Structure 1
Amino acid sequence: MVSAPTHLLYLHGFRSSPLSTKAQMVGRWLAEHHPEVHVWCPPLPPAPRDAMRLVFEGLANWPTASMAVIGSSLGGFYASVVAERTGCRAVVLNPAIDPARDLARHIGEQTTWQKPEEHFYFRPEYVDELRDLAPAALTRPDRYAAVIAKGDELLDWHEMTAHYAGAHQLLLEGSDHALSEFDQQLPFVLRFLSLLP
Structure 2
Amino acid sequence: MTATLIYIHGFLSSPLSTKAQQLGEFVAAQYPDIDYIVPGLSNNPGEACQQVDRLVQDCLRQRASPLGLVGSSLGGFLATVMAERYDLPAVLINPAVEPHNFAEHFIGAHRNPYTEVDFSLTTADIDGLRDMGVVPQTSRYWVLVQEADEVLDYRRALDFYRGSKMTVEAGGDHSFQGFDRHLAAVVDFLQLA
TM-score, scaled relative to structure 1 = 0.89
Per-residue deviation, 1:5: 7.6
Determine whether 1:61 maps to 2:58.
Answer: yes
- Within 5 A, what are the aligned runs for 1:1-197? 6-63=3-60, 66-115=66-115, 117-135=116-134, 137-138=135-136, 140-194=137-191
Query: Is the contact between residue 5 and residue 68 of structure 1 (CA under 8 Å) also seen in structure 2?
Result: no
Residues 5-55 of structure 1 show CA distances to partners (whole Å, capped at 9, x for unaligned) of: 801111101100111100111111111111111121111112222112211
SS at match of 1:61: helix
SS at match of 1:10: strand
What fraction of aligned residue pairs are identical, expressed as a percent?
35
Q: How many residues align?
A: 190
Query: Is the contact between residue 5 and residue 67 of structure 1 (CA under 8 Å) also seen in structure 2?
Result: no
Residues 96-141 of structure 1 show CA distances to partners (whole Å, capped at 9, x for unaligned) of: 00211221101111122334x3322222211000000111x11x21
* 1: CA distance, partners of 2:10 / 2:18: 11
- Amino acid paired to 1:153: E
* 2: CA distance, partners of 1:195 / 1:179: 23
* 2: CA distance, partners of 1:17 / 1:186: 19
Query: Is the contact between residue 65 and residue 88 of structure 1 (CA under 8 Å) also seen in structure 2?
Result: no
Query: Is the contact between residue 70 and residue 76 of structure 2 (CA under 8 Å) also seen in structure 1?
Result: yes
* 1: CA distance, partners of 2:67 / 2:81: 14
- Pick closer, same or farther for the CA change 1:104–1:5 going to 2, 3 Å: farther
* 1: CA distance, partners of 2:47 / 2:36: 20
- Amino acid paired to 2:120: Y
Residues 134-165 of structure 1 show CA distances to partners (whole Å, capped at 9, x for unaligned) of: 11x11x21110000111111111111111111
- Amino acid paired to 1:97: V
- Segments of structure 2 that go 5 or more residues without pairing to the other structure are none
Query: Is the contact between residue 26 and residue 183 of structure 2 (CA under 8 Å) also seen in structure 1?
Result: no
